[in-house]
Amino acid sequence: MGFDHLGLYLYTGRKALAPAMTRDPQGALEYIDRTGADYFVVQPRQTRNEEESLDVKFQNPVLEQYPERFSLVFKDIESEISVYQVNP
């Protein structure tokens, strides 16, 4: 699950979904559980008209509110991409 879900699918061959675009961390976590996502990919993504990047608005709040549900499995310092495994 990540904002570049088409690229993730092409690179991995695994089903990929965009994360829930909600500012409600509980609703986002329920979406993750409902879709059965195994991984949560966090990548800085800036839009033209927004001051905050999408990861700051929609993904980081979920990680901050439910840290026990995610385990960091990969982090690229240069690109600032992080991959978290979703824990049950």
Summarised one tens digit per residue, pLDDT across range 35-79 is 999 999 888 876 667 677 777 788 899 999 999 999 999 999 998
The pLDDT value recorded for residue 74 is: 94
User: Which H or E run contains 8?
Assistant: helix 5-12
**The tokens 């993904």 sit on which residue?**
59
Q: Give Cα separations from 61 to 24, 25, 52, 69, 74 (angstroms).
A: 8, 6, 13, 13, 19
Q: Which domain holds residue 54?
A: 5-86
Query: Rounded to whole angstroms, how far apart are CA atoms 45 and 56?
Result: 9
Q: How far is CA 52 from the centre of its chain?
A: 15
pLDDT at 27: 95
pLDDT class of 34 with cuts at 50, 70, 90: very high
Rounded-to-integer distance, Cα 67 and Cα 71, Å:
8
Q: What is the pLDDT of residue 43?
A: 84
Question: How many domains does one find in the chain?
Answer: 1
What pLDDT is recorded for position 68? 98
